[in-house]
Amino acid sequence: MTNYTFADLVGDEKVFFAEYFNKKPLLRKGALKDPKGVLSLRRLDELVQLEIIRPPYLRVNLKGQGVPEKGYTKTVTVQGTDVTDTVDAQKVYELFRAGATIVWSSLNHVDSSLRRFTQVISDKFGARTDCVAFLTPAGKQGFSPHHDPVDLFIVQTEGTKRWRLWNPPQVRRAQAASYTAEQLGEPVIDVLLEPGDVLYLPYDTPHAAAAEELASVHLSIMIRPRMWKDLLRQTFDELAAAPEFNEFPYIGESRDNSVEEVFKEKVRALMTRFETVEPAAELDRLADLGRRMPGNSMGSTFQTTAELDALDAGSALRLTDVDVEFGANQDGRVQVTVNGHKVAIPAPVAETLAGMSAGDHIIASDVFPGAEPARAARTAQGLARLGLLEVVAA
C-alpha cells in the first residue's frame, strides 16, 4: 500500500486547520492515487473468510435495520474450543446479494495496513482514530440521514457513492442522531465520490450516502478529539500521582477538624503544581497519549526482543524513555523499578545508568564497570529486555 501523508488527504494543512477543521466540509477530488491499495473488494473477501472475525467487528444493515447477529454467524471449533459467534462468510454474501450494507467496525484493529493509514491522521491530531469500512450494494442507501458526534474523513476506494450534506447545527450534540428529509430540507452539498476522493466532515454534520451503478467501498475514519475537560483531567491525574497525595484520610462524619485543613493544603499544593506546568511540554505529552490510544499504537517488541539474542559486548545501547526509579544501595545492590517491575542490580550498574542522560550512548561492556565484558553484556541484555535500554541501530 502507498504510504500517504496527511497533506495527501487535506492539501494545504494550514488552510485546512484555518478554514475547514471544525467549521465546514472539505472535498478533495482524486486525492489518493491508489485507492484500491488502501482497501479493495478483494481484501474484504479475504477478511470475511477469516475465522477470527466476530461481531461487533462486522455488522449487517438491511433496509435501514440491523440484522441480528445470529443471522450471519456460526460456531467454529478452534483447537477443541467452540467459538459460537464467528462470522459466516456465506450468510454475509447472501445478505449482501439481497441488498444489505456490510459494515466493518474498527477495521484498524484487524488490518495492520489500515492501522498505518489511520495513524497518519491520529499522529496529526494527537487523538484516537477508528476506521469503519462500508460495503454498499449498487443502487442502495445504507443508512438514513444522520450525524455522528465525531469528525470524519470519508475515503472512497471502489465504486461511486453520492453524498448529501447539510450544515451542522449551531448547538453541537454529544450523541448520534437520525433525521427525516422534512427536518433537513435541501442539502448544501450534493457530490458524487469516486475512487480516490476524500471528504472531510466536521462533527455533527448531517449526511446521507447511496451507492450508484457499482458496489461501493468507502472508509469513514473517525477522529475522537478530547475536550478541554478530558485533557485537564489527564493533566490532573499526572499531577495527583505525586507521593504527597497518597495518604488515606478519614473523611466520615466523625472526622477531626484538622482533616479539613489538610484538605485545603492538598488543594493549594495541587494548584501550585498546576501553576508550574509548562504548557508546550504538557500538550506534547497529552498529544502523545492520544496517539497511543487503543487502535492507534504500533509496536515491534517481538522483533526487538528477539534481536537482543545477538547482543554482545560491543553493542551500542542507549536509555529508553520509560520511567525508572532507583532505590538505596543495600549491600552493593540497588532496587530498580522499571515498567512496574522491581529488580535488584549491582550498584556499579545502577550508578552507570543513573549518570546517563537521554540520547547518551554506551557500549554494552561499559554497563557494568569492573566486570568481564561477557558478564557486562549479559547484564545489558537483561536490562534491554526489561525495556530500560535499547540497541542503537548501526
The Cα 381–Cα 377 span in angstroms is: 6
Full-model pTM: 0.75
pLDDT value at position 182? 67
CATH number of the 6-224 domain? 2.60.120.650
CATH code given to domain 301-391? 3.90.930.40
Per-residue cell: 348: 556499579
Residue 314: which residues within 8 A CB-CB, separation 6 or more? 363, 364, 365
Within 10 A of 236 (CB to CB), how many other CB atoms are there?
13
Quick one: which of 108, 109, 105, 188 has its CA closest to 145? 188
Q: pLDDT > 70: what percent of the chain?
A: 94
Whether the Cβ atoms of residue 348 and residue 359 lie closer than 8 Å to each other: no
Task: Summarize pLDDT for 135-168 with one digit per residue, the tens.
Answer: 988 876 655 777 778 889 999 999 998 888 887 7
- Where helices occur in the chain by DSSP H, the ranges are 6-10, 13-15, 35-38, 41-48, 89-97, 112-125, 181-184, 228-239, 257-275, 279-291, 301-307, 347-354, 373-386
DSSP state of 107: G
Q: Which of 10-14, 53-57, 107-111, 225-229 has the lowest average pLDDT? A: 225-229
Give the best-scoring range by mean pLDDT among 12-16, 366-370, 387-391.
12-16
The predicted structure's pLDDT at residue 321: 80
Please tell me what DSSP assigns to residue 297.
Answer: -
Q: How far apart are CA 217 and CA 228, in angstroms?
A: 35
- DSSP H or E stretch at residue 223: strand 216-224
| DSSP 3-state percent helix, strand, coil across the chain (nearest 5) | 35, 25, 40
What is the C-alpha R_g of the chain? Answer: 27
- Among all chains, which residue has been given the C-alpha cell 455522528? 148
Q: Closest Cα to residue 388, out of 334, 330, 331?
A: 334
pLDDT of residue 234: 94
CA 230 to chain centre: 16
Q: Where along the chain do its domains lie?
A: 6-224, 228-291, 301-391
The number of beta carbons lying within 10 Å of the beta carbon of residue 339 is: 11
∠ Cα 347 340 359 (to 5°): 60
